[in-house]
Structure 1
Amino acid sequence: MTITPPPHLVLLSVFFLLTACQSIPPSKPSSPHVDKYVTQSDYRRAEQFLPHNLKTLVKNAWLEAHWLDGKNMFWFRQQVGEDGQQFILVDAQNNTQKYAFDHAKLMMALEKVGLKSSSPFHLPLNNPNITSNDIRFQSDEKAWRCDLVNYRCHNEPSKPDKTTGAGTSPNGQWQLLVKDYNLVLRSTASGIEKQLTNDGSEKRPYALTHSNPSASFYDHSPYPDNGTDIMWSANSRFAITHKLDRSNTGKLTLVQADTGNGLRPRAISYYYPMAGDKQLPMADIILIDTQTSQATKLDTPAVMQTYYGGPIWGWWQDNDRFVYHDRKRGNQHYAMREINPETKTVRTLVNEQDDKFIDPWTQIYWHLPKRNEFVWSSQRSGYQHLYLYDGKTGELKNAITQGEMTVRVIRGIDEKKGYVYFEASGREPNRDPYYRHLYRVNLDGTGLKLLTPEPAEHSTQLSEDFQYVIDTYSTTTSAPITVLRHTQTGKVIKLLQRADITGLLATGWQPPKPFRVLAGDNKTPLYGLMYLPSNFDPNKKYPIIDDIYTGPHNFFTPKSFNTYGSQANALAELGFIVIKMDGRGTSKRGRAFHEYSFKNLGGGVDDHVVAIKRLAQQFAFIDLDKVGIYGFSAGGYDTAHAMFKYPEFFKVGVAASGNHDFRADKAGWNEMWMGYPVTKHWDEQSNLTIAKQLRGKLLLAHGELDPNVHPAATLQLVAKLMQANKDFDLMIYPNMGHVLDKNPYFVRKRWDYFVEHLLDAQPPKDYHLNW
């Protein structure tokens, strides 16, 4: 099956391809005419292109399959009409598709029990569970069941409330409590309690976690400083928890100026490990045995905590062993360990080492109990690949995948047949290297087969018996298509649905244009998107704005059709060219590409400068004298850094929620890419160090309740700008957290800032965005 975009999209793509490939420079465009005023109607048109307005115009972009137990059948919900829904049942084995039930009959049956609907496709079915014979759902805060043979409905009896307290075992017989920072084991039957530890304290508590303060501000609730991290075994005999040493960990404080309850501000202080701290919170692993009523500190290295929550990244396996990830400070050592609760011992399953960093967001561990093996991922070959290990000895058996591709996710492993189903990118030639495809390979590394060949971004769902796969695929210019395939051959069995983008196209929206340029090394291809206004005129000159985020933990340019979820659409509509791209240092392109950012986070903007210059050489409508930039979080850092590092190039910037010095932010993310211990390169890449180089117009923004990057990070930059006697603009947003794009006032002010300072126009006064 091939992707066939609508005709007008094909024409646009051809136009841009021809323009990009011209060997003769195009004739000089006429002088641009810049209005002195951008009108209310211009803003209203742009408002239509905001993500929350566009998303409602796309129907059936995704299909969530619900497989029926023991059958090769599944049902899914499909949007119909303006806001209706219908339920479809698919028999994969017999290649049939029909309604999961008679919607009109069910509507009448529901009306008989007092549940009324406006139409058969507006049934009050919350959280439905559909089988061949009945449907169970929630409505009016009650549980209901309808017979799909005779179409009779009745209220299901309320089940006894089995709500149990935190720390309760699966069988309900035990509860592990924290009292005065110590562990107490309570029998739920008798109520008898036994204190298991006596050396806990506020600085060295048992089981406690570090809670994110956001909910407390928004819910007007007390700060939950008593959250616990207790993981019970399935048989309820054992539990894993920790003893945390936070004696050298500092606290941060957020202040809510406008509480809605009087004029007195509210402050919450909380533990927060920051990058560069001399000591991070460290946790000993504690094993609880209910049979002996003992708490044992296991003989294994302490694990570090670098953010909110608990310090242990682990879970109980089907073999009643507990496994957990263990990374060391500096992120050059990474282990997967296994706890045997019966013997109270810990063994290392696999140990990874690297002279730069090991990325924890890419590490995959998959236990194969029937084979006494496990699968582990590693970038040791230069690409993210899968490896098979002996579960008993821990010895490497073989590489499962290899070559120039990046394994992105395992979708399933058929232990009986020895197949691994996984999505990967970068293997298929002559296409975007970020496109994900589904593959099947034998556990011994042989028999690799591509199952989703279309040159597109694929997202797949496997059936429980591994016979079928549901594949939703699209590109940035072609709407999603969902098909059912055989997993043995990849052959398409049937088309399940196509996304309906009629409403989206009716607004005049056009998809962004993919582009490819070379990086600063003149050999590495980079990929991005160019957003144009719907009334784009190739004979005009347009300012260009870079929507930047260079965080090394991922890549950020969309590859599927969901580009209508970007703020860039609305901003472009005001008369700008907006680009989104991933330069060297971001993830999913292999180690050499990724390592560009190691101890070099400030270098992320370099490729963006080169890319914009190359685009201006290709497209005469780009005004290289008017270049803007914006971003949030790491993109906020990027924005300010670009304004300081390239003051002659970037004229206007809007930096939101920026971590302007990496030591003013969380330990985990920043030390991952900057390394540890702190050396002079931390100062060299700090925005505080080079703030004095600002020339252009810079707007800094931060939410006062940002729990992710503390507002101090922006205010410390403000202090440096003031010391350097630089002109800039600052906005602190009351009651806002990290993501300011949820605030209509901020979005409008960002528009105003670029319209006024980059477009050289007057924005409409006090325009109100409807949110």
Structure 2
Amino acid sequence: MNYRVISRMVFLVLLSFAVQTADAFQKTAPRCYKMEIQPEWSEDGTQFWYQNHLGVDSWEIIFVDAKRGLRKSLVNTSEMKSHLQRIQMGFDEAQSCKFYGFSYDFDQQVCSFTFQQQSYVFDVEMNELKVSEPSDTERAKNDSGRLDDDNARSENSGEHTEITFVNRTKLLLTYSWINSSGQSVAYGSIKPEARNSQHTFSGHVWEITDSEGGYYGRFRGHPSPLPIEIHERVERKQRQASRTPRVSYQNSPDGKWQIQHDAGNLILRSAQGNETRSLTKDGHPENPYQFSGWSPDSQSLIATKVFPVEYENVYTLESAARQGYRGKLHEHRYALPGDEMTQYEWHLFNIETEDQHRLDLPIIDFGRPVIHWTSDQTFVVPKTDRGHQRFRLIECDTRTRKTRTIIDEKTDTFLWSAHGPSIPKTNFLKLSKELIYVSEQSGWRHLYLVNLEEPGSMQPITSGEWVVRKIESVDEETRQIIFAASGRHPDQDPYFLHHYRVNFDGTDLIELTEGNGSHSIEFSPDQRYLIDTYSRVDLPHVHNLRNAINGELICPLEEADNQELIEAGWKTPTAFHTTGRDGQTEIWGVICFPDNYDESKSYPILEDIYAGPHNYHVPKTFRQSRWYEQETEAGFIVVKIDGMGTAHRSKAFHDVCWQNLKDAGLPDRKLWIQAAANKYAGMDTSRVGIYGTSAGGQNAVSALLFHGDFYIAAVASCGCHDNRMDKASWNEQWMGYPVGPKYAASSNIDHAAKLEGNLLLMVGELDNNVPPESTYRLVDALIKADKEFDFLLLPGQGHTNGGSYGNRRRIQFFKEHLHP
């Protein structure tokens, strides 16, 4: 019996079933249409077109003239079917139609596309459809569309298309899909003089072979498919292995010199290879020199001497290893808070004199060294102190070796500089000796202009009780910045993004987007226009075309259509906000009700928690898949909340987490749930459960330990239950350095004896994010405290909530203890 043949047959049957199932799902599952716009701009940047999907096999092509503020439909599915019926014998207008490879010629005003392997052009002005024969150039290109790379593999899937092969040989041909890993999967065969069309995606690669093992090349799917005729075999090109080891060189800007590393030392080598000098002699592999950068004039270079630290191992045991009958021990290096870290010492080398000098710059003891040259002779070094309470930008002059501090920012809590900020603290300009600096020194995250030639100068670009979230673009010639910010609209959710333009000196702040929702923008190629898209959890996407200079509305484009979802009974989450523990600050979240929610009935509440300080976590934009479908179908009301201690509000709001991760905003969350229950009578605050993964797992257990009077059941997956046992970079930022008593105060393990309520712990035994012993030690502490709880070990799994099995066990656990 040929097991290989049988296994391939089984694979193809399963693959065919999966494709048919996916296709059926696509045709029957309710969807929201016009969620996105993908504009194709004209060369002069004043016009664009895009395709709207209006339903299964239903579409329209939209043309927009930005200069005139004109939007119009060029053609749609029903119109195109009518045209096809007139020119194509036997065409059934009621049949399902797949059109591929749309394009629009702005000058000729014609649409081109492919239908059933035939090319067509539609003249918009004449309202006329014609069959289009490919030009000689197109035909030649298509007939010889074989890829040069015989090792090519499928790339990320583009749009749906098809690929058609015509067999002009006398042998049976086989066509195979080459997946992203380079593996060949046979799909079908083509008889001599026959053709075969295969659904695919643009970017996917197919290979043709014959029944005698002959090779005809690899071909890539294209958005505008034309038949590919297969004539003659070709020789498969084999990838040549490099016979010489790769040597890394850092070339000087003038091209004369190269730096090479050799056994921990730096070797200076002329580009021609006829001169070699040893710049250092005291380095060795355990204490090497590391090149940092050439000066722009090639007269000097900067390097660091590295004092490496080999972090200790953490271990995981794979109890259900795939091979053999013994468990398998895994280990990897892992830095814990307080561990010694690799340090970098600064050195300067003069190329002409061959002098070496240790520089009076602070040793880098957290992160990696970075330099930025501000002139031929000066460079700056950013330095974040370990513990994240001080940031400096220090300038060094290579001629005098003197240093001066440009920026020195300190705080009593933390400077958010790792795990999450979407804007680097320093953003250097190219046309001037200035930088845009990001700081929360005012109590809110804002932009500042720093003159590098005037230490201490820091002029606000933005200011106010709101938060800058992202720099979209910087125009140094006009000295303007386009950025995204949140919190400027008191009548909106303070996390909603809006976009603005402002001058470097802080004048002429202009809002470029408008609408009650969270916005994203896409510029025209020359940035004269922008497409403004916004949505909320309860509002599908709205698209508008705006002037990118002053934000004025040019014309509305689309409003997403969610009628199918509504008819299917789909419900949007309900946004809710109320004041937190201070009686003033608004706390925001969402509520997801069961489809059959009845105010006269009582429903238990589940909180999905993740209070990591690196972000906010409540969704703000629309999506067409259901939120918490399994939980709401089981009879639970699910809430998600951003309490104090999370990001993108004021510095004071964020600082609540400082040396206090056990807080997790739980006092705010309790008040929020109680206020929501006052408005929605079906919410039963005597039956509240909570669950989370990773930091959320820590938060869920903390809820029972420190707020067991309110939360009565919790499920915690892969939790970080003691911050002394988790990664240094995360925990030293929020909990401080050196490690002190605050770590113990936030430890679930140290407070295990306080457990009230019902607890289910889950952990993947191969978790390499949060070491699983964090959960194991909590289990040990709970046993020693004689506490009742449930524990689920997930063999062979990593940092996870347990997947579908874990979800089922979690819902079952809450059913048992909250009785929906």
TM-score range, shorter chain: 0.7 to 0.9
Residue identity opposite 1:113 in structure 2? D
In the aligned structure 2, how far is the partner of 1:577 from the partner of 1:90? 44
In the aligned structure 1, how far is the partner of 2:410 from the partner of 2:599? 52
Deviation readout 1:330-350 (Å, 9 max, x if unpaired): 211012356778988866442
Aligned to 2:634: 574
Structure 1 residue 714 displacement after superposition: 1.0
Residue from 714, 738, 744 that aligns with 2:804: 744
Kindly tell me: are residues 704 and 200 of structure 1, through their superposed partners in 2, closer, same or farther at Cα, counting changes over 3 Å? farther
Residue from 700, 721, 724 that aligns with 2:782: 721
Residue identity opposite 2:392 in structure 1? A
- 1:100 matched to 2:110? The reply is no
Q: Is the 8 A contact 2:143 2:228 kept in 1?
A: no
Out of 345-354 and 650-659, give the one that drifted further: 345-354
In the aligned structure 1, how far is the partner of 2:597 from the partner of 2:414? 44
Residue identity opposite 2:588 in structure 1? Y
Q: Is the 8 A contact 1:249 1:281 kept in 2?
A: no
Aligned to 1:5: none
Residue identity opposite 1:601 in structure 2? L
Residue from 428, 453, 462 that aligns with 1:401: 462
Q: Secondary structure at the match of 1:100?
A: strand
In the aligned structure 2, how far is the partner of 1:443 from the partner of 1:642? 46
Residue identity opposite 1:262 in structure 2? G
Aligned to 1:252: 314
Kindly tell me: are residues 188 and 417 of structure 1, through their superposed partners in 2, closer, same or farther at Cα, counting changes over 3 Å? closer
Q: Could you say which structure has the larger radius of gyration?
A: 2
Structure 1 residue 468 displacement after superposition: 2.1
In the aligned structure 1, how far is the partner of 2:725 from the partner of 2:449? 40
Give the 5 Å matches for 1:420-499. 420-463=481-524, 465-499=526-560
Which segments of 5 or more consecutive residues in structure 1 lack a partner in the other structure?
1-47, 127-135, 208-228, 761-771
- 1:375 matched to 2:414? The reply is no
Aligned to 1:353: 410
Structure 1 residue 55 displacement after superposition: 11
Aligned to 1:61: 35
Structure 1 residue 412 displacement after superposition: 0.8
In the aligned structure 2, how far is the partner of 1:153 from the partner of 1:498? 44
Aligned to 2:678: 617
Taking structure 1 as the reference length, the TM-score comes to: 0.74
In the aligned structure 1, how far is the partner of 2:299 from the partner of 2:767? 41
Structure 1 residue 472 displacement after superposition: 1.8
In the aligned structure 1, how far is the partner of 2:220 from the partner of 2:350? 41
In the aligned structure 1, how far is the partner of 2:704 from the partner of 2:508? 51
Q: Secondary structure at the match of 1:687?
A: coil
Q: Secondary structure at the match of 1:720?
A: helix
Q: Is the 8 A contact 1:665 1:709 kept in 2?
A: yes
Structure 1 residue 368 displacement after superposition: 1.9
Give the 5 Å matches for 1:647-658. 647-658=708-719
Structure 1 residue 588 displacement after superposition: 1.2
Q: Is the 8 A contact 1:85 1:121 kept in 2?
A: no
Out of 57-66 and 638-647, give the one that drifted further: 57-66
In the aligned structure 1, how far is the partner of 2:264 from the partner of 2:429? 38
In the aligned structure 1, how far is the partner of 2:285 from the partner of 2:795? 31
Deviation readout 1:23-76 (Å, 9 max, x if unpaired): xxxxxxxxxxxxxxxxxxxxxxxxx9xxx9999945553446677887556777
Structure 1 residue 687 displacement after superposition: 0.4
In the aligned structure 1, how far is the partner of 2:352 from the partner of 2:300? 8
- 1:113 matched to 2:143? The reply is yes
Residue from 263, 275, 281 that aligns with 2:342: 281
Kindly tell me: are residues 488 and 640 of structure 1, through their superposed partners in 2, closer, same or farther at Cα, counting changes over 3 Å? same
In the aligned structure 2, how far is the partner of 1:191 from the partner of 1:665? 51
Aligned to 2:161: 122
Deviation readout 1:551-607 (Å, 9 max, x if unpaired): 2222111111148475x3432222101101111121111112122222222122221
In the aligned structure 2, how far is the partner of 1:54 from the partner of 1:146? 27
Kindly tell me: are residues 657 and 288 of structure 1, through their superposed partners in 2, closer, same or farther at Cα, counting changes over 3 Å? farther
In the aligned structure 1, how far is the partner of 2:374 from the partner of 2:38? 27
Residue identity opposite 1:390 in structure 2? N
Aligned to 1:688: 749
Q: Secondary structure at the match of 1:483?
A: strand
Residue identity opposite 1:356 in structure 2? T
Aligned to 1:588: 648
Give the 5 Å matches for 1:127-206. 139-140=205-206, 165=246, 167=248, 169=250, 204=287
Residue identity opposite 2:469 in structure 1? R
Residue from 650, 656, 663 that aligns with 1:603: 663
Which segments of 5 or more consecutive residues in structure 2 lack a partner in the other structure?
1-21, 75-101, 105-111, 121-131, 147-157, 165-177, 179-201, 208-217
Greater RCO, CA 8 A, separation 6+: 1
In the aligned structure 1, how far is the partner of 2:348 from the partner of 2:696? 42
In the aligned structure 2, how far is the partner of 1:190 from the partner of 1:716? 59
In the aligned structure 2, how far is the partner of 1:320 from the partner of 1:145? 52
Q: Secondary structure at the match of 2:610?
A: coil
Q: Is the 8 A contact 1:691 1:717 kept in 2?
A: yes
Q: Is the 8 A contact 2:637 2:683 kept in 1?
A: yes
Structure 1 residue 173 displacement after superposition: 10
Structure 1 residue 481 displacement after superposition: 2.2
Q: Secondary structure at the match of 1:757?
A: helix
Residue identity opposite 2:593 in structure 1? L
Kindly tell me: are residues 651 and 75 of structure 1, through their superposed partners in 2, closer, same or farther at Cα, counting changes over 3 Å? same
Aligned to 2:188: none
Aligned-pair Cα RMSD in Å: 4.7
Taking structure 2 as the reference length, the TM-score comes to: 0.70
Structure 1 residue 488 displacement after superposition: 1.9
Structure 1 residue 236 displacement after superposition: 9.8
Residue from 328, 331, 336 that aligns with 2:388: 331
Kindly tell me: are residues 199 and 464 of structure 1, through their superposed partners in 2, closer, same or farther at Cα, counting changes over 3 Å? farther
In the aligned structure 1, how far is the partner of 2:56 from the partner of 2:352? 59
Q: Is the 8 A contact 1:460 1:470 kept in 2?
A: yes
Q: Is the 8 A contact 1:170 1:235 kept in 2?
A: no
- 1:632 matched to 2:693? The reply is yes
In the aligned structure 1, how far is the partner of 2:356 from the partner of 2:487? 48
Q: Is the 8 A contact 1:137 1:143 kept in 2?
A: no
Out of 402-411 and 647-656, give the one that drifted further: 647-656
Residue from 794, 797, 817 that aligns with 1:733: 794
Structure 1 residue 280 displacement after superposition: 2.9
Same amino acid, percent of matched pairs: 32
